[in-house]
Chains A and B, each alone.
Chain A
Amino acid sequence: MAVTADAKLDVQRIRADFPYLEELSNGKPVAFLDSAASTQKPRQVLDALHDFYSHRYANVHRGVYRLAERATEGYEGAREKVRAFVNAPSTREVVFVRSATEGLNLVAYAWGLENLGPGDVVVITELEHHSNFVPWQFVANRTGASFRHIPIDDAGELQLDALDEIAASGKVKVVANNLVSNSLGTINPVEKLAAWAHEQGAIMVVDAAQAAPHRPIDVQALGCDFLALSSHKLCGPSGVGALWGKAELLEQMSPFNLGGEMIRSVALDRTSWNELPYKFEAGTPAIAEAYGFGVAIDYLSEIGLDAIERHEHELTEYALGKLSELDFVRVFGPPVERRAGIVSFDVTGIHPHDVAQILDWEGVAVRAGHHCTQPLMARLGVAATTRASFYLYTIPEEIDRLVEGLHKVKQHLG
Chain B
Amino acid sequence: MSEFDQLYREVILDHYKNPRSHGLLEAADAQAEGQNPLCGDEVTVSLRFEGETIAEVGFEGRGCAISQAATSMLTEIVVGRSAEEIARMPKEELLEEIGIPLTPVRLKCALLGLGVLKVALHKSKGTPLPDEWTQGDDLTIS
* A interface residue numbers (CB < 8 A to B): 26, 350-354, 357-358, 361, 368-370, 374, 377, 382-384, 412-413
* B interface residue numbers (CB < 8 A to A): 3-4, 7-8, 13, 16, 37-42, 62-66, 105-106, 109
**A370/B4 in contact, CB under 8 A:** no
CA distance A367 to B57 in the complex (A): 34
B45 nearest CB across to chain A (Å)? 18
CA distance A369 to B65 in the complex (A): 15
B63 CB contact (under 8 Å) in A351, A370, A374, A413? A351
Cβ–Cβ < 8 Å partners of A368 in chain B: 39
Minimal Cβ-Cβ distance residue in A for B62: A383
**B37/A370 in contact, CB under 8 A:** yes
B65 CB contact (under 8 Å) in A26, A370, A384, A413? A413
A369 CB contact (under 8 Å) in B13, B40, B109? B40
A325 nearest CB across to chain B (Å)? 24
Total inter-chain residue pairs, C-beta < 8 Å: 52
**A370/B40 in contact, CB under 8 A:** yes
What are 30 residue pairs bridging A and B, where the CB atoms are less than 8 Å apart in the complex?
A26-B3, A351-B39, A351-B40, A351-B41, A351-B63, A351-B64, A351-B65, A352-B40, A352-B64, A353-B41, A353-B64, A354-B8, A354-B64, A354-B65, A354-B66, A357-B7, A358-B4, A361-B4, A368-B39, A369-B40, A370-B40, A377-B40, A383-B39, A383-B62, A384-B39, A384-B40, A412-B4, A413-B8, A413-B16, A413-B65
Minimal Cβ-Cβ distance residue in A for B38: A369
Cβ–Cβ < 8 Å partners of A351 in chain B: 39-41, 62-65
B42 CB contact (under 8 Å) in A358, A374, A383? A383
Cβ–Cβ < 8 Å partners of A361 in chain B: 3-4
6 A-B pairs besides A370-B40, A413-B8, A413-B16 with CB distance below 8 A are A350-B65, A354-B64, A354-B65, A361-B4, A370-B37, A412-B8
CA distance A352 to B3 in the complex (A): 18
**A383/B8 in contact, CB under 8 A:** no
Minimal Cβ-Cβ distance residue in A for B105: A353
Minimal Cβ-Cβ distance residue in B for A385: B40
Cβ–Cβ < 8 Å partners of A377 in chain B: 40
CA distance A383 to B42 in the complex (A): 9
